[in-house]
Chain A
Amino acid sequence: EVQLVESGGGLVQPGGSLRLSCAASGFNFISYSMSWVRQAPGKGLEWLSYITTSSSTIYYADSVKGRFTISRDNAKNSLSLQMNSLSAEDTAVYYCASYLISLHAFHYWGQGILVTVSS
């Protein structure tokens, strides 16, 4: 069974940092590019960051460039998102998603993890 399980969310103060992790299983992780997508409460989906299979190419949305860092560990089948300088606007459910190049689409999704930025 394919699983993407996010962890590391929770309550953080404005200006603080948080590191999200995504554990992958049930599929060939090293063959998939990966992304983080978030959804603010009651809002739509917002793509944040993308990393290729070998980490050779990384993209960020303007809204998080310079504050968030995506990384992956293929040996551990894991994806991470280091989030710094957080503000209330970063409050959202964060999803990790696999991107299958042959489909050019986000194929598998995690269940999401809530990050709340508040004092």
Chain B
Amino acid sequence: EIMLSQSPGTLSLSPGQRATLSCRASQSVDSTYLAWYQQRPGQAPRLLIYGASRRATGIPDRFTGSGSGTDFTLTISRLEPEDFAMYYCQQYDSSLFTFGPGTKVDL
């Protein structure tokens, strides 16, 4: 089973700053099956990035996904107030889906 870890656990930043979130897998992940989600407090998760680097419909271009193998990154170029939230990476392999523990982007 592939495990995902995310770092840092919390990222304390201000609006306008750049956020760099890391997702590391215990084994190599097919980039096709690597996605990122945003979850605001009290809301359901929302798909941001699929295929490691493709933005979902309606996602602003300040969100960028990159990486391959075991190391993936979500970058938010300039934080907007609505971007302060939890972010989860997720992968699929061998009939199992797993989520990382999340990174909280905090003010």
Contacts and interface: CB of A to CB of B under 8 A. Distances in A.
Interface string A36-49: 01000000111100
A61 B97 CA distance: 8
Given A59-B97, A105-B35, 14 more contacts: A45-B37, A45-B90, A47-B97, A59-B95, A59-B96, A103-B35, A103-B47, A103-B51, A103-B54, A104-B50, A104-B51, A107-B47, A109-B46, A111-B44
B56 A61 contact: no
Interface string B31-44: 01101010100011
Identify whether the interface residues of A are mostly helix, strand, loop, or mixed.
Answer: strand
B44 A95 contact: yes
Interface residues of B, number: 26
Contact of A106 (B47, B96, B100): B47
Nearest to B46: A109
Interface of B: 32-33, 35, 37, 39, 43-47, 50-51, 54, 56, 86, 88, 90, 92, 95-102
B96 to A, nearest CB: 7
22 contacts: A37-B99, A44-B86, A44-B88, A45-B99, A47-B90, A47-B97, A47-B99, A50-B97, A59-B95, A59-B97, A61-B96, A95-B45, A103-B50, A103-B54, A103-B56, A104-B35, A105-B35, A106-B37, A106-B90, A107-B47, A110-B44, A111-B44
